[in-house]
Structure 1
Amino acid sequence: MYPYGNYQIPQIPFEYSHVVQQDSNDLVRQLSQLLQMPQIQQVMGRFSQLERQVNQQQREIDQLQRRLVRVNQRLRAVENRLNIPFTPFEGEF
């Protein structure tokens, strides 16, 4: 056992010659070629379409939530006026 101050990390030889470095321009060229493939363009188009659908559905959900709040407010007003017990819908069945 080494005392804490005298421990040395073992030196393991590592051969770096097999590591190939590519030019960044070569990587950019390969990426641009990949993005030009019809399959990639088709997937990207479908992704954009789904993203637009999600945004539209979120707007519809927000609108429905605002309508629900207004309906609950109106029903509370009717309840107060006519003394009819009413439990507003809060999203649970």
Structure 2
Amino acid sequence: MLPANVPAVKAYQVCGSQWRTSFTGATGLDYTACIAALQLYLPRWQAEAGDNPHLEHHTITTLLDDLRTIEDALLTAWDEKAKPTTDTPDDT
């Protein structure tokens, strides 16, 4: 994994269980819960950053931007996967 992606992955690992759902499935992340979790974890991550300057300079806002990118990609992928295929088996 590229060091620049570590903050986004860490943020998703913490917030990946905070999906809002409806009868049709996931609708998006619960940002209130994600903000609360990131406020707890970010100072520790920054203290443990070591040689990773990417984590050192992140804020709650930049991590939420990363989470929104991941959220959008996942919702799009799940939507595409849920669409019925139009291909029918050939019975000949």
Provide the TM-score with structure 1 as the length reference.
0.33
Larger Rg: 1
More contact order relative to length (CA 8 Å, sep ≥ 6): 2
Larger fraction in strand: 2
Provide the TM-score with structure 2 as the length reference.
0.33
